[in-house]
Structure 1
Amino acid sequence: MRGSHRLIACFFAAAVTAATPAMLSAQTDVTASAQANGDPALLVADNVLVAQDERLIATGNVEALQGDYRLSASRIIYDRSADQLTIEGPIRIADPEQGILILADQAELDEGFRNGLIKGARLVIDQHLQLAAVEAARVEGRYTQLSRVAVTSCQVCGPNETPLWQIRASKVIHDQEARQLYFDNAQFRLMDVPIFWLPRLRVPDPTLDRARGFLFPTFTSSTLLGFGIRTPYFIPIGDSQDITLTPHLTTKSRTLEFRYRRAFRNGDVTLLGAVSGEDFRKEGARGYLFAEGLFDLPRDYKLRFDIRAVSDEAYLNDYNYSSDERLASNLTIARVQTDRRVSFSLTNYQSLRDYEDNETQPGITASAYTDRRFFFDRVPGEFRLSAELSGLYRESDLDVDGPDDDLLVDGRDAARMNIEASWRNRWTLAGGLRAGLSTHLFFDHYVTDQDAAVPDRVTNVTPGAALELRYPLVRRSPRGARTLLEPIMQVGWVGGERGLNANEESTRVEFDEANLLSLSRFPAADRREHGTTLAAGLRWMHEAPAGWSTALTVGRVWQDTTDPEFSRSSGLDNETSDWLIAGRFANPLGITLSARGLLDENDRFSKAQARAGWSNTRMDLGASYVLLTKDVFEERNNTVSEWTFDSRYQVTRNWETATEVSYDLADRRLDRVGLGLQYQNECIQVDFGATREFASATNLEPSTEFDLTIALKGFGIDGSAKEYRRICR
């Protein structure tokens, strides 16, 4: 309440100069000509009396205002000689800047509200946390000392109603500047039943976002780790960094988790990690470290890194930190502009699969890429020039395929340089037919080491061209509906023949609507399609006035020769490809459907995926399906067919549930089952989760986990939970 002494002084000075000793009535307004902190002071009351030039008495709906400060009472008496302010209630003092509201029956304060006594006080912080006391003392304008206090954030509607939880204390001190609450003889009560007692307790008030101290614990139970408790401790380090240390103690392990965050002027960095010691393993300490950051560099470059490392294959799964089967650590520097793009990346892979040896996997990869567009006034169309350098390294020195199950040479190291120059242009012909022509020249150089089956050096210069035709047909209805029907076709040709370089990056081919019209459907430039191809399809889209929309794409590719590098499940292993079918649907009710698949000559899907969802303010429902047929070329010895269901449902205003189920149709077994339950009202939040993991790899063990977190709102919980506040009747 700093500045209040100036406000009251202005009231008094204005009243002395503007009023007579007689009673002033009928909503007398006294406005101070003096200003405190640049804000005019204002006193409004039904009656104002100045007695003997020493006492100002304001009665009847008294309001004192200055800037954001507002005080209201039934009567205010200010004695200038004694520097004493007597306020009769009901009293309401609001400080919006600090988020503090004081309600009281009576108060005796000095001129600046810095010192004094408040009786029947009730302190409300951030419109949420309530502190009710027999009396409160103001000290030095910074501290509010409350005696015989009850603290809660629960809504209490009647004098006989008991809050769900409360803290009783003999004394509570609120440090308004540090925004801390200090309790003496604190007793926590649940439904007015004493649960535990602490001689001293310090907690931040709700207006402090980053307060040092313990956060609410989480109780855990796992079939692998046993029963435990996770207790985070938050440590702010200045305004730009902090660290959270979380001991996780179970009956079978001891873990210290940590999170470090720091913000810089040009970016930020976050570190996550844990170190564990266990009773059920004899390998010693285990742990993991994840680090990620994003920085702005000079000349509009962006630096992004994501580092991931773990001590062993099973640690992340055992402690439920991650379900990833491979960890990719990467560092990227990139710049994207209107007519050019530049990127540099370095990636390290760590496999967590028991049947994969990291020495024979491409552990380190590096690449540099740039492309640029050129436009010339006297030459139509657009010229593009791109260049890419890429390489990968394996720790193994073997130049043949070892006894493992993969089809790659164990020690093969490879690098490539690819340069592409192209020209392309588009025209609109008579009748609305759209035509596009592009010409290409590819220069490819490949270097291979430690592979006895392929040459060390391979160089190719390959020409290519493509003619694309589109005939968009658009119809608009009088009611506003729009429909697009567009036949599409491309004739492509790539000269030359397949080089003898190794296939490292194009072993997994995805045939979809994005590359239907493309000269090469391989994901990387270590493989290119050669010969003549014809791609044709049909696109249909519709948007209705009611807000729903739908789309469908059907396409197929014809090749003059079959490329042996296309696997069975790619849909491109024959001269006539599988049918590509993709569609989507969405409506204003929140229902979305999307599906994509490859239909072979036997009218069976060789690859398919689908997603259905329904989302609104009360629920989120989703179901996904994935089908991948058996394909030895892609090292998949069994068909993958899996359903995944996930949901969030707001049962009532206070109760919410979440579920997750993953079912393997091929093996006819559950992969994962998860259940979440949350209850919250204006003063408490309870989260319960249960997860059952069914192991599918030899390095993972099945486990069941339970988590329980109980948090008291008003202490370290974001938001005021106004939407959960009850209405007293």
Structure 2
Amino acid sequence: MRHLISALLFTLLFALPLRAQDQATLIADRVFLAGDETLTAEGAVEVLYRGARLTAERITFDSRTDQLTIVGPIRLTDVNGTVVLADAAELSRDMTEGVLTSARMVLDQQLQLASTSMTRTEGRYTTLNKVVASSCQVCPSNPRPLWEIRARRVVHDQKERQLYFDHAQFRVAGLPIFYAPRLRMPDPTLKRSSGFLMPSVRTTSALGAGIKLPYFFAIGDSRDLTLTPYVSTNHTRTLEFRYRQAFASGKMEFTGALTRDDLLPGDTRGYLFGEGQFDLPRDFGLAFAVQTVSDDAYLLDYGVSDVDRLASGVAITRTRRNEYIEARIFRYWSIRPGDDNSVLPTYVGDLTLTRRFSPAYLGGEGQFRFQTHGHRRSSDVDTDANADGVTDGRDMARATLMADWRRNWTLLNGMVVSGGFQATADFYSIGQDADYPGTVTRFTPAAMVELRWPWVKTERTGATQVIEPVVQVVWSPDSTDNVPNEDSQIVTFDEGNLFDFSRFPGADAHELGTRFNIGVGWTRYDPAGWSLGVTAGRVFRARDLGQFSAASGLDGTSSDWLLAVQAENTFGLTLMNRALFDDNMNFSRDELRIGYDDGKYDVTAGYLWLVADPAEGRLRESSEFVFDAGWNFTDNWRGTLAGRYDFQAARAARAAIGLQYRNECATIDLSLSRRFTSSTSVSADTSFNLGVALNGFGAGTDGRRYRRTCLR
């Protein structure tokens, strides 16, 4: 019979203040006293004290020395979750100091440190002698871990959560790899700590073989800095950096690099990217972005990013239920081959105020918008000297005032009749363009009437079908004052704007003329969890006003047919296809996207076809296929494959293959990628990357989900 001995509290802890948190609980099969000074507990002994838990076979307490003599097997778990296993121990009465023999310490159920003896001092330091440390699962059939660190001594600072190794030898599969007389590493419970991070290997055809060795600086609880030297056989000398800081009202992050290499001898190269978000009073938010680079090829040469248009600026926004406010000013800089930034809008500023309301007498829903926009080109030429269709130095400012209203009426037969109008007034100030006067004022009204008739059917199986035919008539004038079109050059016709007042994406162009929009949507929802939706529509015009190009599918008195299909099921499959084609089934646009993810296999793929259209800067047809796939071979192995293929050029634009191995103690990433495209500033390039992370050091490398089970 097991006994809970309350009287033992005074004997075991008589020298401690008798506060509640200082009392201990002892549970054992047998407890007896030897004289007045020695107490012994035997048989499934358990001691609970200040969040710590000790289990053993036998404990003897000597009140003269305040020492616990413990016979194992011993298991000691402290309040931080650190587990100590040992055969025997001599500990102080509060278990914070003492010596343990044949001891093993387990940190956060990940990192194991086995030693011949262990000493606990000051309730903070644990010293282990002749240590083997690893987070790898060791099984009797394969007792050699994937990696291990052998050391003469290891000190664990429980307060700072650091491990200090003396004479450390790192081994992989039992083979010594390197030796360090002193080594410091964070324990698994520490989220942030200054020190070296795991190195990575990068090899490219342009830079040769190279290695990156990052060092992390924890600058307080809210800031950190990572410096990463990068050297390669092609004599690149690069220092990468990342700075992060969190504030009570926001955060910011900057990344960048400085480089001297043989690609551009004698030049200092580099880049700087930054971003931040902050909360301001009265529900406003501030965001900023910084993007700058020394030369057009740097980002691709060093695998930083595929971005080809840099944006730097600041934006202030506020979003409420019926209100949206945005003010932004940005500088744009193109690094695309062939672009001349002097003839592109470089400095752009916008202010938008949008307010939604319900008119008192009209009912329905109205919207009011005030918008200003301005941009500046650095060129002083007031004509189209480079023959690209845009005046080289044209600067422009615009103020727009727009109001619209819409209301629905439901008839007794379920039909929904809608009516609405929109009125837009624009004031333009145009500089450095001989084709336009200095100022232009434009007013564009529009009105519409719409009829919808939704039908719903429920099948015996529980599936629901919804079909909704829609017809809409929109009127607006056939002509208006001519202004430059800067923000509506490319128009996309889809199911989202089939019934809009205007299908132009910006404010410089408004859709004109009387048109008749028709469409029908059908959706089936199955109780098994899958759904299928189809939308079809077309636009008919009273007159062809020549506003749209062939690629938009909206040119002529009748547009191309729009057909969009969406499907998804519970097995992880999603499909979307959107096509524009004329009566002869000649396609102007076709877009297909497929996604599948069942946990073991995942793939996303897309295909895009676009007809040639000089108005959109596309002199030949475009036909591209992109994909990104992954396969989890086992719980530990994963392969990836990605690429992009240009059918018109009959070549791949980019391809990549990757392999990852991950278990409870290590993560290994291998990747090989090839960029096939080249230009005057960028050459085709092949890149190989190798990254290794040891799980069990620091909070960001938790491998417990990959822990294996030993086979008998």
When normalised by structure 2's length, the TM-score is 0.96
Contact 1:385/1:422 (8 A) holds in 2: yes
Q: How does 1:324-723 map to 2 (within 5 A)?
A: 324-403=307-386, 406-495=388-477, 497-716=479-698, 718-723=700-705
Question: For each residue in 1:273-329, what CA deviation from the matched residue of structure 2 results, as whole angstroms up to 9, or x when unmatched?
Answer: 111111231351111111111111100011122221111111101111111221223
**Structure 1 residue 159 displacement after superposition:** 9.0
Gapped regions of structure 2 (runs ≥ 5) = none
Which amino acid is the alignment partner of residue 140 of structure 2?
Answer: G
- Separation (CA, whole Å) in 1 of partners of 2:664 and 2:607: 39
Which amino acid is the alignment partner of residue 219 of structure 2?
Answer: I
Question: For each residue in 1:154-175, what CA deviation from the matched residue of structure 2 results, as whole angstroms up to 9, or x when unmatched?
Answer: 1112297211211111111111
The reply to whether residue 278 of structure 1 matches residue 248 of structure 2 is no
- Separation (CA, whole Å) in 2 of partners of 1:15 and 1:183: 36
Which amino acid is the alignment partner of residue 451 of structure 2?
Answer: L
RMSD (Å), alpha carbons: 2.0
Structure number with higher relative contact order (C-alpha < 8 Å, ≥ 6 residues apart): 2
Match of 1:225 in 2: 207
* Partner SS, residue 531 of structure 1: coil
* Partner SS, residue 303 of structure 2: coil
Match of 1:287 in 2: 270
- Separation (CA, whole Å) in 2 of partners of 1:248 and 1:704: 18
Question: For each residue in 1:15-37, what CA deviation from the matched residue of structure 2 results, as whole angstroms up to 9, or x when unmatched?
Answer: 799xxxxxxxxxxxxxx995443
- Separation (CA, whole Å) in 1 of partners of 2:512 and 2:20: 82
Q: How does 1:300-315 map to 2 (within 5 A)?
A: 300-315=283-298
Contact 1:127/1:720 (8 A) holds in 2: no
Once structures 1 and 2 are overlaid, which stretch shifts more, 669-678 or 454-463? 454-463
Residues 371 and 584 of structure 1, relative CA distance in 2, 3 Å threshold = same
**Structure 1 residue 564 displacement after superposition:** 2.4
- Separation (CA, whole Å) in 2 of partners of 1:423 and 1:624: 38
**Structure 1 residue 270 displacement after superposition:** 0.7
Question: For each residue in 1:615-651, what CA deviation from the matched residue of structure 2 results, as whole angstroms up to 9, or x when unmatched?
Answer: 0211211211111211111111122110112101101
**Structure 1 residue 476 displacement after superposition:** 1.0
Match of 1:320 in 2: 303
Q: How many residues align?
A: 706
Contact 1:339/1:374 (8 A) holds in 2: yes
Match of 2:126 in 1: 144
Gapped regions of structure 1 (runs ≥ 5) = 1-7, 18-31
The reply to whether residue 91 of structure 1 matches residue 74 of structure 2 is yes
- Separation (CA, whole Å) in 1 of partners of 2:37 and 2:362: 92
Contact 1:412/1:449 (8 A) holds in 2: yes
Contact 1:401/1:407 (8 A) holds in 2: yes
Contact 2:603/2:628 (8 A) holds in 1: yes
Match of 1:27 in 2: none
Residues 189 and 638 of structure 1, relative CA distance in 2, 3 Å threshold = same
Choose from 7, 10, 14 the match for 1:13.
Answer: 10
* Partner SS, residue 342 of structure 2: coil
- Separation (CA, whole Å) in 1 of partners of 2:71 and 2:125: 22
Which amino acid is the alignment partner of residue 319 of structure 2?
Answer: V
Once structures 1 and 2 are overlaid, which stretch shifts more, 217-226 or 610-619? 610-619
The reply to whether residue 260 of structure 1 matches residue 257 of structure 2 is no
Choose from 105, 109, 121 the match for 1:123.
Answer: 105
* Partner SS, residue 432 of structure 1: coil
Match of 1:296 in 2: 279
- Separation (CA, whole Å) in 2 of partners of 1:645 and 1:383: 43
- Separation (CA, whole Å) in 2 of partners of 1:200 and 1:143: 17
- Separation (CA, whole Å) in 2 of partners of 1:511 and 1:652: 44
Which amino acid is the alignment partner of residue 116 of structure 2?
Answer: V
**Structure 1 residue 10 displacement after superposition:** 8.7
Residues 326 and 81 of structure 1, relative CA distance in 2, 3 Å threshold = same
Once structures 1 and 2 are overlaid, which stretch shifts more, 310-319 or 48-57? 48-57
**Structure 1 residue 114 displacement after superposition:** 3.0
**Structure 1 residue 479 displacement after superposition:** 2.3
Identity %: 44
Question: For each residue in 1:660-689, what CA deviation from the matched residue of structure 2 results, as whole angstroms up to 9, or x when unmatched?
Answer: 011100110011110110011111111101
Question: For each residue in 1:367-387, what CA deviation from the matched residue of structure 2 results, as whole angstroms up to 9, or x when unmatched?
Answer: 111121233555422332211
* Partner SS, residue 359 of structure 1: helix
Contact 2:191/2:699 (8 A) holds in 1: no
**Structure 1 residue 89 displacement after superposition:** 0.4
Contact 1:389/1:415 (8 A) holds in 2: yes
Choose from 86, 93, 116 the match for 1:111.
Answer: 93
* Partner SS, residue 504 of structure 1: coil
- Separation (CA, whole Å) in 2 of partners of 1:673 and 1:276: 27
Which amino acid is the alignment partner of residue 347 of structure 1?
Answer: F
Which amino acid is the alignment partner of residue 510 of structure 2?
Answer: R
Question: For each residue in 1:405-430, what CA deviation from the matched residue of structure 2 results, as whole angstroms up to 9, or x when unmatched?
Answer: x3211100111111112232111012
Contact 1:34/1:41 (8 A) holds in 2: no
